[in-house]
Structure 1
């Protein structure tokens, strides 16, 4: 808690969640977006205590965000395109999957590979700013790598 998303290392799919934890957070996310009436893109960030299964929702972004761009790149799922079509009133089951061209866009991406995103800082540009990461974003970009497993993606 207390670290800006842009300052954090992201690994997908999660390497530490159990199936029960993953399904608990997924179910909660679906309940939240249905309760809020979200149509289109939304991401939810959690803090989870793995010892007690207690979780907190840190942030809900019912819009395209930096996290959305990463998720889209990591999965190959065209979030912005699909969200725009939904905003125009097109039903999800009728939208074509732009990757296959034959199936619909109404599916949940599944990764059989690992993606690692690491922020990039240029602290010379911010000479009077603390070098400690916190709730404000100081990174100027990021690098993403894909591999067959965490080790391969991380080493790239």
Structure 2
């Protein structure tokens, strides 16, 4: 989703940081991009658990390469060995190659081990593992990443949608896409009113604080296959806690951001239209180590 200009600037800033810090080996940089402005959050002269993910994404053993650099070898000496070639090429010819594959990292959380903990994300590191999905198609890569964490995105059924007012315009496209794929839309009062006013058929469902059967009852009864919820306000957060807990306990895919929900809708569409094609990673990258 990033423009070529932003990607170029990120690469250039990374090179400048590495040279200024005199890093030999691996370096972990965290960037944030907002309104085409690039911000550097932190720089660590060390490896991270992202290294094996990136290695699998591009097909090159970065830890092996970095280890050789650390003990004094030059990158131009390593290139023929790593890439199994005899002639000399600039290293940038290989690092900048376009693999034309989407690699999506999904986190694994321990929510099911702690029944009273609110499965809500914040700035703390709460994940206990990671999974990965690779495919030429973004939707299928996202579907694989979700499946690898144990959550299979549904092909049909009921989708519960309840979003904050600021997210209502953006959720409209998602609801239309899911409706076109044959899903039934369930929504609480505010979202239900917005969807129906914009020609998206939906069924009204009660909040936890309203009459029963409510949305949590429906989740527990197996009547909800997908949840899209961006809570706002104290009452909604209280309701959302029980929705989140019910989703975890009954393994219902749950998305709290519009971007995540849209990715899920695209993944479901791709899966229904194309199915899943699984290949060994060695085959994807031509048998490289």
TM-score by length of 2: 0.44
Secondary structure (helix, strand or coil) at the match of 1:47 reads strand
Partner of 1:135: 123
Residues 98 and 113 of structure 1, relative CA distance in 2, 3 Å threshold: farther
Shift of 1:21: 1.0
Shift of 1:135: 2.2
- Does residue 95 (structure 1) correspond to residue 78 (structure 2)? The answer is yes
Partner of 1:12: none
Residues 149 and 98 of structure 1, relative CA distance in 2, 3 Å threshold: farther
Partner of 1:33: 18
Using the alignment, how far apart are the partners of 2:113 and 2:131 within structure 1?
19
Using the alignment, how far apart are the partners of 2:72 and 2:98 within structure 1?
26
Shift of 1:63: 1.2
Alignment map for 1:101-120 (pairs within 5 Å): 101-102=84-85, 106=91, 107-108=94-95, 109-120=97-108
Secondary structure (helix, strand or coil) at the match of 2:72 reads coil
Secondary structure (helix, strand or coil) at the match of 2:121 reads coil
Contiguous gaps of at least 5 residues in structure 2: 145-289
Using the alignment, how far apart are the partners of 1:42 and 1:126 within structure 2?
34
Shift of 1:96: 4.2
TM-score by length of 1: 0.78
Residues 115 and 97 of structure 1, relative CA distance in 2, 3 Å threshold: farther
Using the alignment, how far apart are the partners of 1:80 and 1:102 within structure 2?
20
- Does residue 43 (structure 1) correspond to residue 28 (structure 2)? The answer is yes
Q: Compare the two structures and name the one with the higher helix fraction.
A: 2
Larger radius of gyration: 2
Higher relative contact order (CA 8 A, sep 6+): 1
Residues 72 and 97 of structure 1, relative CA distance in 2, 3 Å threshold: farther
Contiguous gaps of at least 5 residues in structure 1: 1-15
Shift of 1:130: 3.7
Using the alignment, how far apart are the partners of 2:41 and 2:116 within structure 1?
29
Partner of 2:64: 81
Residues 40 and 117 of structure 1, relative CA distance in 2, 3 Å threshold: same
Spell out, residue by residue over 1:100-150, the C-alpha distance to the aligned partner (whole angstroms, 9 max, x if none).
422579331532111111111121323454421122222221210110121
Residues 97 and 136 of structure 1, relative CA distance in 2, 3 Å threshold: farther
CA RMSD of aligned residues (A): 2.1
Using the alignment, how far apart are the partners of 1:73 and 1:92 within structure 2?
20
Shift of 1:91: 1.0
